Structures are given as structure tokens and as C-alpha cells.
Structure 1
Amino acid sequence: MSTPVKMSLEANKSYHFCTCGKSASTVLCDGSHKGSVFTPKEFSVTESKEYYLCACKKSANAPFCDGSHAK
């Protein structure tokens, strides 16, 4: 089971959520998808604060955790 990763994110900054599961950080893209069919999901937040990002890749609200890892 992969639990969510707590991260401090800055408002209006562009982030890239890893969709392949191969990134060293598990949640933010590091380019490990290159050569595969996966592409990172670009996202931003409107408020600077801590967020829980999905590490199991099953969230219906990716990149944010929705508790799917516990099901």
C-alpha cells in the first residue's frame, strides 16, 4: 500500500504529477517516463499550503489523495 505524500506547494506554481510510478520522488515527475506511453499531469494550486498527493496512482482526484489507497 502506498500512502499519500505530504508536500508544501506554492500557489500558482506549475507542478508535474508522476503518472508512471517510476519517479524517485513517487509523486512529482523526474522524467523517468521517457520512452513510455505515460505523460505527467500538470497541475497548480491556488493556495500555498501543505497538500497530500496520491502515491498509489488510484485516486479519482489525482494528483490529490482521495483515500483510494485504503480501499
Structure 2
Amino acid sequence: MSDPVVYDRNPAEIELEPGEYWWCSCGRSMTQPFCDGSHEGSGIEPMPFVIKEKTTVWLCNCKHSKDKPFCDGAHNELPDDLF
């Protein structure tokens, strides 16, 4: 399994409708923060999550959150050379 690619230091603030979503956990997707299948061969799988009512969320783009797929501020602790 390879390490995830840091896509961005800042989380993605997105208003989501109710439904099931697939968060990109590998950092390779061209449709960040959602999966587009680019993880194939990386050993990293996307993470499904469900939104029950229309809401604004902050999805992790650094791929290091301990509260995946949501941002927990982990990007503030990462070294600058990862970005």
C-alpha cells in the first residue's frame, strides 16, 4: 500500500444534499474530494459516507485526518514540504 498524496492543505467546504458519497482517501482523484477511481493499484480504497440531511461539511484534502472523511485540523500539524 502506498501513502496518500496530499491534495491540498485546506479542507473542501461543500454543501451536500442527502445521499451516499465516496471520499477520495488516496489523494489521486481529479474530482477532489470525491473518488474518480484513480486509486486503482495504490492499495488505498475510497471511503463511503452518508449525509442524512442537507448540510455544509469540511472534507479533508490533506488525507491525514483522524476523523476521515471530515477535517480535524491535521493539516495544521503537517510539515510544509508536503504541500
Scaled to the shorter chain, the TM-score interval is 0.7 to 0.9
Q: Would you tell me which structure has more helix in proportion to its own residues?
A: 2
Matched, 1:34 2:43: no
What's the TM-score, normalizing by structure 1? 0.88
CA distance in 2, matches of 1:36, 1:66: 24
Q: After the TM superposition, which parts of structure 1 deviate over 3 Å for at least 4 consecutive aligned residues?
A: none
Letter in 2 for 1:39: E
What's the TM-score, normalizing by structure 2? 0.76
Gaps of 5+ in 1: none
Once the two structures are aligned, what percentage of the paired residues are identical? Answer: 41
Q: Which residue of 2 aligns with 1:8?
A: 15
Gaps of 5+ in 2: 1-7, 78-83
